Structure 1
Amino acid sequence: MRNLEFKEKMHEYSIWRANLVQAIEMYQQWLTRYGMDDAHRTNTLLNILSSLKNDRITLAFVAEFSRGKTELINAMFFAESGVRLLPSSPGRTTMSPTEIFYDAEGGSYIRLLNIESRLEDMSLAEFKNIPERWTQLELNCDSPTQMQNAFKELIATKKVDRELADRLGLWNEREAATQGVMNPDTVEIPCWRHALISFPHPLLKEGLSIIDTPGLNALGTEPELTLNMLPSAQAIIFLLAADTGVTKSDLEIWMNHINRARSAKKQGLAVVMNKIDAMWDDLGGSNDYDRSIKSQIKASATILKIDEESIFPVSAKQALLAKIKSDKELLAKSRISALENYLSNDILRDKRNIMASIVMRDIGSLINESVNTANTALSHASEQLEEFRKVDFHNQDMTGKLMAETRDRQSLYMANVENFQSSRRVFIVQAKMLINSLAEERINEVIYAAKHDISKSLTTIGMKQNIRKLFDDLRDLLQDSVDITNETRRLVKAIHKKFKDEYGFKEIEPILFDIKKYQLELEEVFEEGEAFRTSAKVTMTEQGIVVDKLYSTLVAKAKVILGRAHDDAISWSNGALSPLARQIKDHKKQIEGRLQMLRKINESKGTVAENIAHLEAELVPLKRQREELAIMIKSMQLEGQLAESS
């Protein structure tokens, strides 16, 4: 499949997302127009709109040095520039992890974070919020040559004292010894820790984001890549070299970084066997060439324990040259089409399904409730019309009886309100307990107490025991929240059941706080923490560096997860009883509308036919309201999912 088709698929996804945003914005306006908006609904819709508008499809390219990773990125996405845009000459290329995307507000630039920032107790995510800490180079998008020259800064290196290189995690004595380097005074290291590149390439403008990681050393010394950036990528493309197969360092990346990032899933993962052109033998011919490639794929699949179909043989060098020269024969020889086909279909399809399920999860209940409200309002109005058609409004006794019945309903409504307020007060107390159980102060108390104990440990064994205690304490803290969550969920169910059974409210499946997803995420962190705690590297590394790495990666990630759980609990508690409150409000509106209509008819001097015609006219806006909602749901392309969830 040609890159053009990937661009077309990406464009289709971008249009789908834009249409979804437009439909949700129309739904938000619909709620406002018919007086159904409230703080909870507005906040929910604004959050999902922000998520959609900032959505990116992230592809992470991971490989050891000299596997042709950057050349593959050039071939797949930037060949139309006519040059090798990103530096990918033989030998060491990109020296710092690089993110490529489009920043509409910031424009075209390269931002570079100095390597010495590793010594600071801040994560990459925190540094990204401080633009002044980055060195910025402007890009001239009308000049591929200027961009090409600017990108050369990505491979910049400098020499520093060996002691500084060691503190930065960029000196490995054992590795240096194998290369014949013994006790050097200075060590060559990358100038930059991380690079952010923004320019208005069509694919980047439509939401594509690329992560280029420079080998095992970067993955080992920047755990944030493995812990945060790789797991969040839509797909990981892992490169091997066809002439070497799976080397020891390839296998280390695979076992310690790729497998962990993908967990048990194999979705969103492609293994690329690059440089197949190196296996060509003029004497052996095409049959021997094909057999050699198949043999290497089989061997690599066995070592990595994956299906052979998951490995894509490619020549990035031939693909780039073929696209620049528009050489169809060479492009076919490069075999890049199968990989592009996988990205065009499987990855973009999966991304669309994931985004649709997120939208459904966040606003599906709101839309279902709106559908029920619109249907109920129209149904009640139609029933009332049929009832009034059968009533002799000239009979004062009959009219009085209808008025009395409606006032009885009004009295029952007031009792409902009083009981609802009482139930809500009980819920607020319980919800406050849930929110407080996840409060930042409580979490920080555990984290900073543990940091003191870990730092003061006199032995490596003691330090490792305190690290384990930290994660055990965090697990216990979350378990308290789980227990409170279960109590809160039972209370919400009981309140809904009470109003259904005792007051005849329409049955609504209550939205319950979901803490399980945070449990699963934290358990992954705890597993990573155990691997970190028991690793030989921790034993060999200076204690202060271990503590810094632990707190800037694993602990920071745990805090983020617990912080999201806290914010989610607040947001959920604000809207948990909203459907009931809206039912009460709608019930009040119906009663008042009925009383008003009876008074009008009773006081009217017109004929019965005229009064009935007036009632029929009142059905028109209710029908329009429902029709508008149906159109918006169709625009969202959520009809099937909504039907399944209702």
Structure 2
Amino acid sequence: MSTFLDLTQLSATSLAQLDQAQHSRQKVAHHLEAMANTLSTAETEGATASGPLSLAPQVETLRSVADNLQQGIFRLVVLGDLKRGKSTLLNSLLGERLLPSDVNPCTAVLTVLKYGPQKQVTIHHLDDSPPEQIALEDFKQIYTIDPEEAKALASKDQAAFPNVSHAEIEYPLPLLQQGLELIDTPGLNDTEARNQLVFNFLQDCHAVLFVMDATQPCTLDERRYLQNTLKDRGITIFFLINAWDKVQSNLINPDDSEALASAEDRLRGVFHTHLADYCPHQYDQRVFEVSGLKALRSQLQNDPEALAQSGVPAFLDSLFKFLSQDRIQSELDYALHKAQMTHKQVWAAVSRRLPLLDEDLDLLKEKLVSVQSDFEQLQSIRDDFQTKIRQTRDQESQAIADSFKTYILNLEITFDEDFVAAQPDLEFLEFLDKNNRAVFYTSFKRAFERYMNDRLAAWEFIAKQDISRAFSELNEAADEYRVAYEQVVEVMNDKLLGNRFYAAGHRYDPKEVQLWADILKDVFEAIPGNMNGAVGQFNMFWQSVMQTALLVIILQVIGLVFSSLFLNIFAVLLVGTGVFVGQAEYVRQEFLKATRTEFAKYLPQIANEQWEPIHQSVQRCFETYEVKVIERINQDIASRQGELNNLVAQKESHSIQVEQESQRLQTLEKSLAEMVQEMEGDCQLKN
């Protein structure tokens, strides 16, 4: 029997909340499916009555949101450098020695842990090879390597298993059965292919668990990864400062309470300085001092007191609270919003249809002709907004591409100062030793990659601010176009419905048209990836667009510079070897001077050649925006035209039973309203 039961007892409340959240997910998904089925049935019935209401887009949206909720998965990506105890910590969370966590071996492939009724490991490959199933024990033996070997491979930019994409472990564990998927990643400085795979998981995760080591607080690689990969991405990060118990064991006198308190305070200050920006206003709920090894031992030894002291239960409580309240609530709110908007759209369509049911066919056709100019006005407003988007696209893509060019050309000026921060551990004298020259070459190349990554990340931050500003301005413009759109819609409604009575005896009230403004607002805010007004969420979209372009730049720079750099530097340094051999400072200065000179030769070429890829990447952002927004406006126009055309077609083909059809449409709207009302109650989580 799994000893994880001890941990669940300590976190019983949080686990109950997580279970309730999963239950709410399924209930809300059921409501959405019911609404979609109701609409689909109504459209089918309408085909033989007064005609469909053109609600296919709403049906598709409801089912898509329901599918996402029904998956019921909380995906957590675990990041951290080598020898940070990630596997040990994960084992302590799982309550099983599922991953290799001895002193030396470390997991060498990205591993997805998920629930399954039976123990099973599936190896996925990067080529066309079919997935391979192996035993768990075989996985532990085959796909783990010594950390020193991992570092050696990393220095050569090689993967231990270059043909393996990732491993998938299914296991019948209580925590995984709660809907959690844990993605265990290799070290931060892995191969480019592996980094891309990690990035793909990051785009679809609920949170990141970033594991650090209390005895090596905030290393340069960790700070760089946080800055370049995670900052401002809209991802919630939990920082687990592992091996906190070693702070005491590393003291000269472990029993000196004052020395321990002083050492812990200094460490907390260091971590707070570097991590506070990633969890503003929630530092205490996102940063935890833990001991994965103590937690795992305490579970294996059935020692709840030691388990509580490990810090792991406190972390789990905070994590489960986030998942079962904050994260889930945002998902449920989004689903409820879509349901409410669907009901409003149906209400509006029914409200437009009811007064026209008993309309004389010839008069209805005349009215249809009378609003054609209004439809043309709606299309004109759409076209004007599209032109505005394209003007902004051209202006911003030009400005940002130009800023990139200027930025690249200026790198020579700050090269010495900036590059030093990227290569603090380089042993420059190794270059003069032909036996160590290959090792130095690889180390220097990786340092140069870090330098370029840092410089491009700095520029990207500025570019994202510019793009965010441009989208904010577009949103303000969208409000103006929406007002004009609403005014035309109100004129159309007056032509079609003015001075009319509903079949059920309710008079058309022009004031109710104002409620339709909510629907039109939704039309104009249909922005991809929730980019509207949300810089953090927008950043992941920007990153996915820009990543390929920036990667090409890095590879091009390295290819150009290193093709001739080492020969030139070697020639310069060889002249002084008789006098200066052993003088590292001279070697360092000459090396940097030669690197800067060689680098500067290619900056104009890089700036010119990469201007177009950057320009196209920025354009892609606005083109995606344009496609989604204009598509939504087109749907609204087509839906309005479809409603009228369908009604005319039905009247031409047969006589409509007005009272019966009126009852059907009102029943449809009422049933949807009741579903939304019931859904509102299920979307309110109990704390």
TM-score normalised to the size of structure 2?
A: 0.60
Shift in Å, 1:334? 0.9
- Give the counterpart of 1:112 among 124, 140, 143: 124
Contact 1:20 1:636 in 2 (8 A): yes
Deviations 1:190-243 (A, max 9, x none): 445531415254654654232222222128675535754335422122222122
Match of 1:24 in 2: 32
1:463-612 superposed matches below 5 A = 492-503=485-496, 504=498, 506-507=512-513, 508-509=516-517, 510=520, 511-514=522-525, 515=527, 521=538, 525=542, 541-543=558-560, 565=625, 568-569=628-629, 571-577=631-637, 580-581=640-641, 584=644
Match of 2:444 in 1: none
SS at match of 1:273: strand
1:608-627 superposed matches below 5 A = 625=668
Deviations 1:427-466 (A, max 9, x none): 5687689899999xx99xx99xx9xxx9xx9xx99xx999
Question: Structure 1 residues 589 and 322 mapped into 2: Cα distance closer, same or farther (>3 Å)?
Answer: farther
The answer on 1:320 being equivalent to 2:296 is yes
- Give the counterpart of 1:150 among 139, 162, 184: 139
* Whole-Å separation in 2 of the counterparts to 1:638 and 1:555: 48
SS at match of 1:111: strand
* Whole-Å separation in 1 of the counterparts to 2:72 and 2:191: 25
- What is the percentage of aligned positions where both structures have the same residue? 16
Question: Structure 1 residues 252 and 619 mapped into 2: Cα distance closer, same or farther (>3 Å)?
Answer: closer
**How many correspondences in the alignment?**
527
The answer on 1:254 being equivalent to 2:271 is no
Contact 1:518 1:561 in 2 (8 A): no
Match of 1:632 in 2: 675
Match of 2:165 in 1: 194
- Give the counterpart of 2:345 among 334, 354, 369: 369
* Whole-Å separation in 1 of the counterparts to 2:305 and 2:195: 42
Match of 1:183 in 2: none
Deviations 1:581-608 (A, max 9, x none): 577589989999xx9889xxxxxxxxxx
Contact 1:64 1:214 in 2 (8 A): yes
* Whole-Å separation in 2 of the counterparts to 1:428 and 1:49: 32
* Whole-Å separation in 2 of the counterparts to 1:95 and 1:634: 50
Q: Which amino acid aligns with 2:236?
A: G
Question: Structure 1 residues 25 and 289 mapped into 2: Cα distance closer, same or farther (>3 Å)?
Answer: same
Contact 1:227 1:261 in 2 (8 A): no
Match of 1:97 in 2: 110
More divergent stretch after superposition (276-285 vs 314-323): 276-285
Match of 1:416 in 2: 367
* Whole-Å separation in 2 of the counterparts to 1:338 and 1:490: 51
Match of 1:274 in 2: 242
Match of 1:136 in 2: 131
| Unaligned 5+ runs, structure 2 | 1-7, 44-52, 413-451, 499-509, 563-601
Deviations 1:293-334 (A, max 9, x none): 444223311233457524201111121222333321121121
Q: Name the Cα RMSD after superposition.
A: 5.7
The answer on 1:301 being equivalent to 2:272 is yes
- Give the counterpart of 1:48 among 65, 71, 76: 65
Contact 2:75 2:207 in 1 (8 A): yes
Contact 1:369 1:579 in 2 (8 A): no
Deviations 1:465-486 (A, max 9, x none): 99999x99x98xx99x969995
Contact 2:243 2:291 in 1 (8 A): yes
Question: Structure 1 residues 326 and 527 mapped into 2: Cα distance closer, same or farther (>3 Å)?
Answer: closer
Contact 2:332 2:683 in 1 (8 A): no
Question: Structure 1 residues 41 and 288 mapped into 2: Cα distance closer, same or farther (>3 Å)?
Answer: same
SS at match of 1:240: strand
* Whole-Å separation in 1 of the counterparts to 2:148 and 2:293: 31
Contact 1:60 1:235 in 2 (8 A): yes
Shift in Å, 1:343? 0.8
Contact 1:99 1:196 in 2 (8 A): yes
Shift in Å, 1:256? 2.4
Q: Which amino acid aligns with 2:35?
A: Y
Shift in Å, 1:339? 0.7
* Whole-Å separation in 1 of the counterparts to 2:310 and 2:456: 53
Question: Structure 1 residues 554 and 268 mapped into 2: Cα distance closer, same or farther (>3 Å)?
Answer: farther
* Whole-Å separation in 1 of the counterparts to 2:211 and 2:221: 12
Question: Structure 1 residues 376 and 412 mapped into 2: Cα distance closer, same or farther (>3 Å)?
Answer: closer
* Whole-Å separation in 2 of the counterparts to 1:366 and 1:224: 37
Shift in Å, 1:287? 7.5
Question: Structure 1 residues 417 and 323 mapped into 2: Cα distance closer, same or farther (>3 Å)?
Answer: farther
Q: Which amino acid aligns with 1:299?
A: V
More divergent stretch after superposition (344-353 vs 622-631): 622-631
- Give the counterpart of 2:217 among 236, 245, 257: 245
Contact 1:159 1:189 in 2 (8 A): no
Match of 2:84 in 1: 67
Question: Structure 1 residues 250 and 523 mapped into 2: Cα distance closer, same or farther (>3 Å)?
Answer: closer
* Whole-Å separation in 2 of the counterparts to 1:565 and 1:303: 35
Match of 1:351 in 2: 327
Contact 2:80 2:210 in 1 (8 A): yes
Shift in Å, 1:10? 3.2
SS at match of 2:233: helix
Question: Structure 1 residues 256 and 359 mapped into 2: Cα distance closer, same or farther (>3 Å)?
Answer: same
Q: Which amino acid aligns with 1:302?
A: T
Question: Structure 1 residues 559 and 284 mapped into 2: Cα distance closer, same or farther (>3 Å)?
Answer: farther
1:151-190 superposed matches below 5 A = 151-155=140-144, 170-171=155-156, 189-190=160-161
Question: Structure 1 residues 288 and 109 mapped into 2: Cα distance closer, same or farther (>3 Å)?
Answer: same
Shift in Å, 1:349? 1.6
Shift in Å, 1:259? 2.0
* Whole-Å separation in 2 of the counterparts to 1:524 and 1:33: 36
| Unaligned 5+ runs, structure 1 | 115-131, 140-145, 173-186, 385-405, 599-614, 642-646
Shift in Å, 1:272? 1.2
TM-score normalised to the size of structure 1?
A: 0.63
Q: Which amino acid aligns with 1:133?
A: D
* Whole-Å separation in 2 of the counterparts to 1:531 and 1:544: 20
Deviations 1:566-585 (A, max 9, x none): 66347514522366457758
The answer on 1:218 being equivalent to 2:230 is no
Q: Which amino acid aligns with 1:87?
A: P
